[in-house]
Chains A and B, each alone.
Chain A
Amino acid sequence: MSAQGELQGRADAPANGVPLLEVNHLRVYFPVKAGLLIDRKVGQVHAVDDVTFQLSERETLGIVGESGCGKTTLIRSLARLVDATDGAIRFRGDDITKAGRQKLQPVRRDVQMVFQDPQASLNPRKRVGQILATPLRLGGTRRREIESRSRELLQQVGLSPEHLNRFPHEFSGGQRQRIGVARALALNPKLILLDEPVSALDVSIQAQVINLLDELQDDLGLTYVFVAHDLSVVRHVSDRIVVMYLGKLMEVSPADELYSKPIHPYTSALLGAIPIPDPRENRARERPIVSGEPPNPINPPSGCRFHTRCPRATEICKRVEPQLTTYAGGHMAACHHPQNVTDEEIRAATRSEASPLSSGSDAPGAEERSLGQVRG
């Protein structure tokens, strides 16, 4: 650890119960423009729409959802690569939502990103040594220490230090992704945002990179946000999982519980759609196939965004946006007609602070109860 000295300044930052990252009612909208000479704003894409969550140190949070659900925009906004429209992002208690260059600089070291396509995210004209030296130089590592630190980084990600003089094209996809990880590790970050880090890789190589990420987390005490569309990969790496649909949180759950006890019908639909690589179990499984495709995020449906495809949707789902309800064990879901929970669990459940501001206050199952009363 050659950069130990300069770490000190940051290492004693507040750790007293303040979560590493807090996201409060975050919105990211993109304007849709039309017109040749004068840009007229004709609408907006609701990419991330009122998302709230917290992240503790050394935790891995998985974010899953279909394409267009806003998962990538969400983590790009956490890295301040896109600006939030509304809401707040706090890193170790400091609000960084609108922070300028100066204030962001220390945060940029602590928060690093690994991208999906290692081919596109490494400069093809630079040698690995130069790629790794850039963050080190910007981070203030002394010139003569840069090379030794780069070698150390390569070793950390399972590559040989001799690879410093090679170009990215001389590596395979899995090795390139290791370089991407090494670059992210260069400044001893606290939090690494991983955007589909293994989806471009072959299965046998996926396993290698996942194991590497696991080992690094144990050794360096890293915190991960792991975005993927592959629910089986996410299950393998995550402590907690967030399911997103059209910019909204549908369900937030401890990792294993999401698979054994999905509360939101959308989660069940996603899980049911994934074939299990085991023919007998696959045949034995009941799999509801959801019809249709995600609606346009420029004009998202009213009420619950999933109601147009949901098998359980009723009248209330069209009118009232469901609140995020906290069930036992911190398992949260935004649904009027939750699955896999007993009446008792529903009664014991509470409205979560993370509920979108525009959501209704109807507790889950409210419609059924009122209908029951009318009939009774």
Chain B
Amino acid sequence: MAPAEPLLRVEDLRVSFATEEGVVQAVDGVSFTVDPGEVLAIVGESGSGKSVSVMTLMGLTRGPNARFDGHAMFGGRDLVSAPDSELQKVRGNQIAMVFQDPMSSLDPVYRIGDQIVEQIRAHEHGISKAQALDRAVDLMERVGVPRARERIRSYPHEFSGGMRQRVMIAMALSNSPQLLIADEPTTALDVTIQAQILDELRQLRSETGAGIILVTHDLGVVADIADRIVVMYAGRVVEQGTLDEIFYDPQHPYTWGLLGSITRIDRDRSERLPAIPGLPPSLLAPPSGCHFRTRCPHAFERCTEVPELISRLPEAPEHLDRCWLEVEAKRSLRQLGDQIGLATGETVIS
């Protein structure tokens, strides 16, 4: 592939918030790129900084107590340092976002149609209200809302969760964005509806060639739709690679712990689930060096230094990780882990 300029290039992004208890380093040096037509999944547990990272791209974390560092280059602009007025032109236009909870992201006192029309007209000044309404109907039909012409007059509470999420996607699509950020878009939905929405996203990607950033904690969803994966832990990227690289040759003990501890419908009931012991660290005072070392069963002296995010695999230069262990040592430890289960039974919290 030619090394064309990616759609989005995030470089060494840092976000911290001053709180009463101290400074929370929510995002600590995150870098990744998104190409057009690509689905990049950012996975991690609550508090890993995945949502803060993508919300920062939209300027949604700006506030008097927030500090930013690093760059996020999109179409010649730096989203981190751009003034609000400039960001407003991009937001909802070239970059759109779909949030987790469709009920709280729609205004309950306005009709669905009016909300979509508002978004269209905010960025396209020449368009008449009637034209915008026609476009809204088209959009709703495209994302699979039946009887769109009638339902455009409904209020959000008259829609089910799945339908509301479709409306959110329709709104996000209203100005043909080049980049769609979906923050846990299916977490609040039932599985059958989740499958429908994921299908919608897939179709969207192939029809418009938009790049998609999918923030999720659900590795099943990731396996279903993602091309590349960024794994975050306590504000840092601990591993990054293609879908198959991460699932079949995970290089960071956190990633393999995460993959091991999920319950699967295609697996029999085994005696105990391998669980990662302990809890994620507080971001007020994370452990020095590798943030995972306090929970890592394979930590050693060197882990008190921060490992760099680099490729340690000669055959996969794009597969990056932050772990000091030797590649061979990791592979054998992982196999051992598969056989006996990682840290079995040891779940007592101090």
Contact = CB atoms under 8 A, between A and B. Distances in A.
A106 to B, nearest CB: 33
Interface in A241-281: 255-256, 259, 269-281
B349 A279 contact: no
B279 A172 contact: yes
Contacts of A259: 265-266
Nearest to B220: A275
Contacts of A287: 195
Interface stretch (A41-49, A205-213, A313-321, A350-358): A205-213
B285 interface: no
B347 A290 contact: no
A270 B273 contact: no
A203 B261 contact: yes
B347 A211 contact: yes
A212 B347 contact: yes
Most buried by B among A206, A215, A277: A277
A272 B194 CA distance: 11
Interface in A166-200: 172-175
B190 A66 contact: yes
A204 B258 contact: yes
B223 A204 contact: no
B263 A230 contact: yes
Contact of A158 (B190, B258, B347): B347
A51 B218 CA distance: 32
A274 B191 contact: yes
B269 A236 contact: yes
Given A160-B350, A203-B217, A203-B219, A275 B272 contact: no
A211 B272 contact: yes
B131 interface: no
A269 B193 CA distance: 11
Contacts of A230: 263
B169 to A, nearest CB: 16
Contacts of B162: 293
A277 B272 contact: no
A81 to B, nearest CB: 24
User: A interface, by DSSP: helix, strand, loop or mixed?
Assistant: helix
B221 A275 contact: yes
Contacts of A291: 196
Contacts of B45: 202-205
B225 to A, nearest CB: 8
B318 interface: no
Contact of B223 (A160, A271, A276): A276
Nearest to A237: B269
B192 A204 contact: no
Nearest to A269: B192
A214 B273 CA distance: 10
A132 B267 CA distance: 36
A233 to B, nearest CB: 5
A282 interface: yes
B262 A214 contact: no
A211 B257 contact: no
A344 B258 CA distance: 44
A346 interface: no
A208 B196 contact: no
Contacts of B221: 275
B304 interface: no
A289 interface: yes
Nearest to B46: A202
Given A158-B347, A212-B347, A282-B223, A276 B266 contact: yes
B264 interface: yes
B54 interface: no
Contacts of B243: 279
Nearest to B162: A293
Nearest to B244: A279
B291 to A, nearest CB: 14
A293 B219 contact: no
Nearest to A236: B263
A214 B272 contact: yes
A202 B48 CA distance: 11
B194 A273 contact: yes
B199 interface: yes
A148 interface: no
B222 A277 contact: yes
Contacts of A278: 223, 247, 264, 266
A160 B350 CA distance: 6
Contacts of B194: 273
A211 B275 CA distance: 8
A104 interface: no
Nearest to A285: B266
Contacts of B264: 232, 235, 276-278
B276 interface: yes
A279 to B, nearest CB: 5
Nearest to A278: B223
Contact of A273 (B192, B276, B347): B192
Given A160-B350, A175-B279, A293-B192, 10 more contacts: A67-B190, A158-B348, A158-B349, A255-B269, A273-B191, A275-B221, A275-B223, A276-B266, A281-B266, A282-B224
29 contacts: A66-B190, A66-B192, A158-B349, A159-B349, A175-B349, A202-B217, A203-B217, A203-B262, A204-B257, A205-B279, A206-B263, A207-B263, A211-B272, A214-B271, A214-B272, A232-B262, A237-B269, A275-B195, A275-B198, A275-B221, A276-B266, A277-B219, A277-B220, A277-B262, A278-B247, A279-B244, A282-B223, A290-B192, A293-B162
Interface of A: 66-67, 158-160, 172-175, 202-208, 210-212, 214-215, 229-233, 235-238, 255-256, 259, 269-282, 287, 289-291, 293
